[in-house]
Chain A
Amino acid sequence: MAVDARARQGDAHARQLAGLDALELTVRRRRGPASRLWSGTWPIASAVALVLVVWQLVVLAGWWPEYVFAGPAETFAVLGERLGDGEFYTAVAVTMRRAVAGFALAIAAGLVAGALVSRIRPLRRAVGALITGLQTMPSIAWFPLAILLFGLTESAIMFVVVLGAAPSIANGLIAGVDYTPPILLRAGHMLGLRRLRLYRHVILPASLPSFLAGLKQGWAFAWRSLMAGELLVIIANQPSLGEQLHFARELADSAGLLATMIVILVVGVVVDMLFGAADTALRRRWGLHQAAD
């Protein structure tokens, strides 16, 4: 009898809990893809239109002759021509190959440096500030040394790209490790995770958002360093975006110069958007993304 009563009571508890659970779970409906695409694109489209209008107005004002500062129509005509030309794609391919290789090297260097510095306390005191210092150093300041060391070669460019990007990546990892919520460390400790296992299962995953932010910033620095490098270090038979800029200025080809700049801008923005998308996906998974969307 008593057992029966208790079983019935237990059942009532379970049902009450299930009821509360159902009430507390928020039902969130996401908008359709078309509506999301529209809300994402129209501000960008308006901004681009605004820039084009201002650009055209400046050209119409006639402060500079047209061969110095070309208008949008002329520039986009040249850009369209280039897009149909094989050499353009060779140049983009060379630049992107350098960007990807340099960024990959920077990630490797940043990971190793970040892991060591965040783990070893004396090392942190010794070089922690140095890494931040490197981050603030303009990458173009490295080129004279890089050219002395490596000559006018791709190695010189890579050297500067890695030095430009690695500190941001390392700092992202270090900040992530530093700001791992203490409560998660305690929870991991209670679960019996120590040292490397605590690192692998708690600290590294917890530092992922900060690391991703570091990667994003690192990419921006890598891309800038690469453009600076390609302007300064021109290698024969290696057409690149930076080289195109250089020759467009030499030949006073204003439209070509602006067309190349647009390509550089677009590549930078697209890669940045990829990092943004990764960041959004991570935030959604972790539930840090409640407010927006």
Chain B
Amino acid sequence: MTAPTTEQAGGRTEGPEPAVRLEAVSKMYGQGRTGLLALDEVSLTVGTGEFVCLLGASGCGKSTLLSLVAGLDRPTAGRIEADGGRVAMMFQEPALFPWLTVSANVEMALRAKGVSRKERRERAAEFLETVHLGGFGAKRPHELSGGMRQRVALARALAQDADVLLMDEPFGALDAMTRDLLHDELERIWRERNLSVLFVTHNVREAVRLGDRVVLLSSRPGRVVEDFPVVLPRPRRTDSAEVARQAAEITDRLRQEVMRHGR
């Protein structure tokens, strides 16, 4: 158990060196009265080596928040720091380049950094090995199943040698069995590489299964409603009673939040 248990239990947002820090971040789409406030003064910290799950119903700006941290978009107000760390991102879809082989897709992460061709090939093979896809480098993405493609996307993200991994519902489109296995894989890789993960999902059990903390966002506009520490021992199982109990508690809170929009 390398996960810093003291940090989980006590000062959640006052970890020694936060990997990601958001301070009163707001994001407005459009302007004036027709504008849509997607995020409203969200403050959030992901400690180094911490696994944080962002949970919310639709319209809570989860994906917007990830895009802001990733630098794909700019906040309207507030500050975002991803301290010196490199940030990699996985999307809901694998987003692999269909014209490249699996290996070349992973190599693209290294290519952007000017690694030599020979070294690229070797390192891509290692990363594919990490996600148990050692023999599939020469295949094309369309020849693989959905779960395998997401693992290639994970290998590509790892190849960026990032410290922070942003994940936008990466397993949402997979069947339950594949998803469970990928949870185990992700947990192993997160531990081995001491990654800081910000994981967006709308699946409460998945959040409890994976997270050191589960941060609940409200919808329209997105605000932090509550920050639930998850102190269950790892490895956890999605179908265990402890996970179910804590998930039920969080689901109740989420329901209250959703009901506010009923009228």
Contacts and interface: CB of A to CB of B under 8 A. Distances in A.
Interface in B157-188: 160, 177-178, 181, 184-185, 188
Interface string A2-22: 000000011001101110110
A205 interface: yes
Contacts of A285: 99, 140
Nearest to B162: A190
Nearest to A14: B132
A247 B148 CA distance: 65
A157 interface: no
B152 to A, nearest CB: 12
B258 interface: no
A190 to B, nearest CB: 5
Contacts of B91: 183, 186-187
B3 interface: no
A1 interface: no
B120 interface: no
A195 to B, nearest CB: 12
Interface stretch (B30-38, B105-113, B238-246): B105-113
Interface string B91-114: 101011111100000001101110
Interface string B67-97: 0001010000000000000011101010111
B70 A190 contact: yes
A181 B109 CA distance: 19
Contact of B109 (A18, A25, A191, A206): A191
Contacts of B132: 14, 17-18
A184 B112 contact: no
A287 B113 contact: no
Given A13-B181, A285-B140, A191 B160 contact: yes
Interface in A264-293: 285-288, 290
A17 B160 contact: no
A183 B147 contact: no
A109 to B, nearest CB: 25
B63 to A, nearest CB: 11
Contact of B72 (A20, A186, A206): A186
Q: Which of B88, B112, B188 has the most CB of A within 10 A?
A: B112
Q: Which of B70, B97, B160, B188 has the most CB of A within 10 A?
A: B97
Interface residues on B, range: 35 or more
A192 interface: yes
A25 B99 contact: no
Given A21-B148, A25-B145, A197-B112, A191 B156 contact: yes
A53 to B, nearest CB: 44
A191 B108 contact: yes
Contacts of A288: 98, 142
Contact of B98 (A188, A190, A287): A287
Given A191-B108, A205-B99, A24 B72 contact: no
A201 B97 CA distance: 9
B121 to A, nearest CB: 17
A208 interface: yes
A187 B212 CA distance: 27
A24 B181 CA distance: 15
Interface string A196-209: 01000110011010
A24 B99 contact: no
B143 interface: yes
B88 A190 contact: yes
Contacts of A191: 108-109, 112, 156, 160
A193 interface: yes
Contacts of A25: 143-145
B61 interface: no
Contacts of A13: 181, 184-185, 188
23 contacts: A10-B188, A13-B188, A17-B185, A21-B133, A21-B147, A24-B145, A25-B145, A186-B91, A187-B91, A190-B70, A190-B72, A190-B89, A191-B112, A191-B160, A192-B113, A201-B108, A201-B111, A205-B97, A285-B99, A285-B140, A286-B142, A287-B142, A288-B142
Which 4 pairs across A and B sit closest by C-beta, in order of nearness? A287-B142, A24-B145, A192-B112, A187-B95
Interface of B: 70, 72, 87-89, 91, 93, 95-100, 108-109, 111-113, 132-133, 140-148, 156, 160, 177-178, 181, 184-185, 188, 235
Given A10-B188, A287-B141, 20 more contacts: A14-B132, A17-B181, A20-B177, A21-B148, A24-B145, A183-B91, A186-B89, A187-B91, A187-B97, A188-B108, A190-B89, A191-B108, A191-B160, A192-B113, A193-B112, A201-B97, A201-B108, A206-B99, A208-B99, A287-B140
